[in-house]
A and B are shown apart, each in its own frame.
Chain A
């Protein structure tokens, strides 16, 4: 009788259904609302930039793994797809296509594969790609089409800066927040997504929906987003309370720029964030502080990308110092 031979393996003999592929595709699902908003606001160019980013990320990963590194090709695991989407969400919709491709090459080739592939990279690949583009092509990376209310396709858009950019520049010129209140979108506009900025920075609402979905599905834990946003709110709140004319309100800071996108989707990247909950809290506090420092006192209007990359560099140290308490031992700081 031809039967399947008996299987022998070590214990445990059962396994959870929750695999890494499912996690990745949940993240893609969570990013869909923000994606639809970006198409609504920016039209076909948003679709083009996102598709180009995704395709070039997958293509570069395939080519480099197959021909350069000669290892197994792993584009099916969903991580390159996510890197493509997140990279696109950090770019203006009118960015020249070849720059998108260059960014993808840096994100996948340098930030991910040269470190050893999935699980070995220290820095968030999408952010490395974005920062590379920002530093190499500062002009094109800081030109966004202005969104016109109730408009769908913007082809001859007037280019301008983001709300954060406007605030920073104008405050430097001595204007006050009350002066600016007409020039920047209201908080409700920011929440719903009618403003200038990169593809993914549009609707805080859409991003929150996605982020909360991820927390509910237990793909990410609430620690990093909550603590990061709370730290940002606290820090900007202190300054705003002291001098509301020269500092924007915490709500404005939370809703504008890449704060929510960064908090829910970039900082929570599994590979580049700490492994313990305590470590995650420290990590998030660091990101919050550095973001606010850059936003208020640094040269750039937006600091989330830099803050996350800087804290990524600290993650191995955080992992070493903040180990879980072992059963039977007292909690103490030890060099692991």
Chain B
């Protein structure tokens, strides 16, 4: 009985030893050398594997960073300037500094302002629907609302509003990886600079039809009246094909265009209430005090 136990133990032990030796030998013989820097750089990266850098995953990006001489063109939008600075220090190479950006949906055509004139039957996918026709409304440039962009967002920064019928971007969560920009078959989403207080001014419309036709399709459409172009003190607004576009490089966020737009097609976000209102308040206060003094 003891011999049986002893034999079994010895046999299994020797099998285990042989296996260990073989594994060790193989791991040494087939060892693939990898620059340890790559693992270190990868640790610095956000690890989202979102392909915002243009490469399939953070590991691949780390490899590219380590193996390329000049990394000025490479940028991780999710990590932003902070992460790129750390990478630059680790590798001793120069990196570009980019302004942080955020995804912006340039369409305000929700269900209440842009009525549907046809019914689409088929897979509820923007890519498929765009292949068939311009959409259920009379504006063929606007958002289709089936949420292809929401599906590709890896950071849960988008959702389709059930009432409005168009996607909403949550600024705090957006890492500007750019997945939604490529997913939208109509090019409605754009990356615009994100400043400290997330103030944005942009034209929320892509309709290139003439004014009358555009307005019939959507109440908030850009009718191409050019009033914004005329009033802009910095020349940041350009008109092309009956559509206005605000260049973020020149825009100083003065909001003159927002006020003058007759269809409220230009969108402003996160601005404090207007100066006029503050002025009105101060004036009201002054008149009150004056009346008190007079009295």
Interface residues of A, Cβ cutoff 8 Å to B: 4-10
| Cβ–Cβ contact B132 & A9, under 8 A | yes
In the bound complex, CA of A7 to CA of B118 (Å): 6
| Cβ–Cβ contact A7 & B117, under 8 A | no
Interface of A (DSSP majority class): loop
Smallest CB-CB separation from B120: which chain A residue?
A8
B71 to chain A, nearest CB (A): 42
A13 to chain B, nearest CB (A): 10
Apart from A8-B121, A8-B132, A10-B128: 10 A-B pairs, beta carbons within 8 A: A5-B118, A5-B119, A6-B117, A6-B118, A6-B119, A7-B120, A8-B133, A9-B120, A9-B122, A10-B122
Residue B116 is within 8 A (CB to CB) of chain A in the complex? yes
Question: What is the interface residue range for chain B against chain A?
Answer: 10 to 19
In the bound complex, CA of A8 to CA of B131 (Å): 12
In the bound complex, CA of A9 to CA of B118 (Å): 10
Name the residue in A5, A7, A8, A10 with the highest tally of chain B Cβ atoms < 10 Å from its Cβ.
Answer: A8
| Cβ–Cβ contact B116 & A7, under 8 A | no
A10 cross-chain contacts in B, Cβ below 8 A: 122, 128, 131-132
A9 cross-chain contacts in B, Cβ below 8 A: 120-122, 132
In the bound complex, CA of A8 to CA of B122 (Å): 9
In the bound complex, CA of A188 to CA of B121 (Å): 56
Interface of B (DSSP majority class): mixed
Smallest CB-CB separation from B131: which chain A residue?
A10
In the bound complex, CA of A10 to CA of B121 (Å): 8
27 sample A-B contacts, Cβ–Cβ < 8 Å, listed by A number = A4-B119, A5-B116, A5-B117, A5-B118, A5-B119, A6-B117, A6-B118, A6-B119, A7-B118, A7-B119, A7-B120, A7-B121, A8-B118, A8-B119, A8-B120, A8-B121, A8-B132, A8-B133, A8-B136, A9-B120, A9-B121, A9-B122, A9-B132, A10-B122, A10-B128, A10-B131, A10-B132
A87 to chain B, nearest CB (A): 35
The 0/1 profile, CB within 8 Å of A marked 1, for residues 115-140 of chain B is: 01111111000001001110010000
Interface residues of B, Cβ cutoff 8 Å to A: 116-122, 128, 131-133, 136
A6 cross-chain contacts in B, Cβ below 8 A: 117-119
In the bound complex, CA of A6 to CA of B118 (Å): 5
B136 to chain A, nearest CB (A): 8
Nearest 3 interchain pairs by C-beta: A9-B121, A9-B122, A6-B118
In the bound complex, CA of A9 to CA of B119 (Å): 8
In the bound complex, CA of A164 to CA of B132 (Å): 60
B118 cross-chain contacts in A, Cβ below 8 A: 5-8
A7 cross-chain contacts in B, Cβ below 8 A: 118-121
B133 cross-chain contacts in A, Cβ below 8 A: 8
In the bound complex, CA of A8 to CA of B138 (Å): 13
In the bound complex, CA of A9 to CA of B131 (Å): 10
B121 cross-chain contacts in A, Cβ below 8 A: 7-9
Smallest CB-CB separation from B115: which chain A residue?
A5
B116 to chain A, nearest CB (A): 7
B117 to chain A, nearest CB (A): 6
B216 to chain A, nearest CB (A): 16
Smallest CB-CB separation from B135: which chain A residue?
A8
Smallest CB-CB separation from B133: which chain A residue?
A8
In the bound complex, CA of A4 to CA of B118 (Å): 9
B137 to chain A, nearest CB (A): 11
A4 cross-chain contacts in B, Cβ below 8 A: 119
Smallest CB-CB separation from A11: which chain B residue?
B132
In the bound complex, CA of A5 to CA of B133 (Å): 15
A238 to chain B, nearest CB (A): 46
B136 cross-chain contacts in A, Cβ below 8 A: 8
In the bound complex, CA of A174 to CA of B122 (Å): 67
B128 cross-chain contacts in A, Cβ below 8 A: 10
B107 to chain A, nearest CB (A): 20
B270 to chain A, nearest CB (A): 36
B122 to chain A, nearest CB (A): 5
In the bound complex, CA of A7 to CA of B132 (Å): 12
In the bound complex, CA of A5 to CA of B117 (Å): 6
A121 to chain B, nearest CB (A): 24
B130 to chain A, nearest CB (A): 12
Smallest CB-CB separation from A13: which chain B residue?
B121
In the bound complex, CA of A8 to CA of B133 (Å): 8
In the bound complex, CA of A6 to CA of B116 (Å): 10
In the bound complex, CA of A8 to CA of B121 (Å): 6
B108 to chain A, nearest CB (A): 22
B94 to chain A, nearest CB (A): 49
Name the residue in B116, B118, B128 with the highest tally of chain A Cβ atoms < 10 Å from its Cβ.
Answer: B118
In the bound complex, CA of A5 to CA of B120 (Å): 10
B132 to chain A, nearest CB (A): 5
A5 cross-chain contacts in B, Cβ below 8 A: 116-119
B120 cross-chain contacts in A, Cβ below 8 A: 7-9
B122 cross-chain contacts in A, Cβ below 8 A: 9-10
A153 to chain B, nearest CB (A): 54
Smallest CB-CB separation from A4: which chain B residue?
B119
B23 to chain A, nearest CB (A): 32
B121 to chain A, nearest CB (A): 4
A8 cross-chain contacts in B, Cβ below 8 A: 118-121, 132-133, 136
